[in-house]
Amino acid sequence: MIPHTHIEIDFKALENNLKLIKQKAGNKKIQGVVKANAYGHGDFEIARALERLGVANLGVARVNEGVRLRELGITSEILVLGGAEENEFEPLINHKLKPVIYNEGIAEKLNDYLKFRDLKHQVHIKIDTGMHRLGIAHDKTEKFFNELKGYTNLEPEGIMSHFVAAGAKEAEWNVLQTERFKDALTNWKKIFKEAPKNIHIENSAGFFNFNLDFTNTVRLGIAIYGYGYAGLLPVLKLYSSVKDIKDVKKGETVSYGGWFRAQSDMKIAVVPVGYGDGFMRAGRKGSVMVNGEEAPIVSIICMDYFMIDVTNINGIKIGDQVTIIGDTHDAGYWAKTSGTIVYEVLTLLNPRIRRKYNGA
């Protein structure tokens, strides 16, 4: 039984997006980013679908995300984009996850751990070209690569960075970061006498805006899920239903704090979705679709409910479907309404909401 409140994931839309991406990527390897529960879509189900669609490289943020996928049977290469802490080395290695090395200390510690276990392990090296988050400083790569060469239990196979403003195509940061990344790549070739197996800096925005000719791997998240570029189809839709209907007299208030006061007699419907499901309180300025009609939210978003104005929707009844994220009101609509970004709208949708997977 599908609960009244549920998410539907459309694998046909996912397949459409991968087809478009592969046409543009050419011979580049595609890494499907499935961190944060695959941006709210369901990490295992999306990872399995990506494997079926020929994406053999996955990206997660944390070791425990990769461990979960391995335990559920995912066999693709998994890169831990946030690297691993010292107390995570054992599950990292035992589950064949590849870490990103982002500073000198973690490289030394991982090498020592591997030496103790008489193992070698593949790693990617992150370069900080301007994000100032994680990564080896771009002007210290030659020194670091020389040190890395001495860590004989590490097998560096990838060099990577991250754009600050890839979505702003003309931003001067993009040129500067690209040049810094190229310089780091030059230093890699000088020290290791060959190019790395994986060269990647492009996220979804970087890939669609630049598609650089010297990289061979792209890390794609939001584009896979259907946002940002022409031809992509949103993969996720969020539905609920009318749980109850109430008559509200002029002057009466709705929900906590009396934030909404009826300006005339009206009819409201209660929808069983709230911030406990990851639907943001900032969404109270938006509207949903009921029976093909737009119904504005007229309450603060509660933990488990919000209320909508259905005064002008003829024939509405308990049990009628409510479309919250759909064709007319996608995650982009809610991002704009809530003053945030699509990523946040999607990733906040938590596992309390059941997922239904269509078109597998």
CA atoms within 13 A on the CB side of 197: 7
Q: Residue 172: what pLDDT?
A: 82
Q: What is the pLDDT of residue 152?
A: 97
What pLDDT is stored for residue 102 in this prediction? 97
Predicted TM-score (pTM) of this structure: 0.94
Q: Which residues of the chain have pLDDT under 50?
A: 1
Q: Which residues form the catalytic set? A: 35, 256
| The pLDDT value given to residue 267 | 97
Q: What is the pLDDT of residue 28?
A: 96
Domain ranges of the chain: 11-220, 236-358
Computed over every residue of the chain, the mean pLDDT equals: 95
Residue position matching structure tokens 């040049």: 179
Per-residue model confidence as pLDDT tens digits over 178-199: 999 999 999 999 999 999 999 9
Q: Do domains 11-220 and 236-358 have the same CATH topology?
A: no
What would the 3-class secondary structure string for the chain be?
A: CCCCCEEEEEHHHHHHHHHHHHHHHCCCEEEEECHHHHHCCCHHHHHHHHHHCCCCEEEECCHHHHHHHHHCCCCCEEEECCCCCHHHHHHHHHCCCEEEECCHHHHHHHHHHHHHCCCCEEEEEEEECCCCCCCEEHHHHHHHHHHHHCCCCEEEEEEECCCCCCCCCCCHHHHHHHHHHHHHHHHHHHHHCCCCCEEECCCHHHHHHCCCCCCCEEEECCCCCCCCCCCCCCCEEEEEECCEEEEECCCCEECHHHCEECCCCEEEEEECCCHHHCCCHHHHHCEEEECCEEEEECCCCCCCCEEEECCCCCCCCCCCEEEEECCCCCHHHHHHHHCCCHHHHHHCCCCCCEEEEECC
So what's the pLDDT on residue 165? Answer: 84
Query: CATH fold of 236-358, please?
Result: Lyase, Ornithine Decarboxylase; Chain A, domain 1 (2.40.37)
Q: For residue 265, what are the contacts with CB-CB under 8 A and spacing of at least 6?
A: 247, 248, 249, 250
pLDDT score at 166 = 77
- What gap in Å lies between CA 144 and CA 88, rounded to an integer? 23
CATH 1.10.40.60 fits domain 11-220: no
